[in-house]
Amino acid sequence: MPRILIGVLLILHGLAHSGLAAAPLPKDVTSHPGSFFTHPSRTWLLGRLRLSPAWIRGVGLTLIVLTTIGFVLAGLAALGVPLLAGAVAPLIICSAVLSLVLLAVFWHAWLALGVAIDVAILVLWVGRGL
């Protein structure tokens, strides 16, 4: 039972990234869906690096896709899908780190829970081996 719960929670956490990716800018009624992790005004770091809006969107979308796919695959691996079963550890670690990078680069106070979940995943994995 715990293995099923862990797998489902990892999959849901990955899908939550995609859900936020489809969100508009917070408190901006003029923004369109999909701006949350891709709009140039949403990143404190990439703007300082003077990246173009197209590059910022590309970085955001890449991080979203990799994080979502990573957590979904980690969840499937935790559920025991044969081809993925041996890759649980790297999938969980890479996905959580990518998620933390995404959340830090496009920071908003709403993301504090996501950071806490990612840190808990890493601590539980490293500390107990999930």
pLDDT, tens only, 12-63? 999 999 988 888 877 777 777 878 888 888 888 887 888 888 999 899 999 9
Is 130 a residue whose pLDDT tops 60?
A: no
Structurally, the chain folds into a number of domains equal to 1
Structural domain boundaries, residue 121 = 2-128
pLDDT digits (tens, 9 = 90+) for 74-99: 999 999 999 998 898 899 999 999 99
Residue 126 above 80 pLDDT? no
Residue (of 79, 102, 78) closest to 90 by Cα position: 78
Task: Give the tokens for residue 68.
Answer: 């979502």
For residue 89, the SS3 value is helix
Structure tokens at 35: 């701006």
At 122, phi and psi to the nearest 5? -65, -45
127's CB contacts (< 8 A; 6+ apart) are: none
Give the pLDDT of residue 117: 96
Q: What pLDDT, on the 0 to 100 scale, is given for residue 71?
A: 98
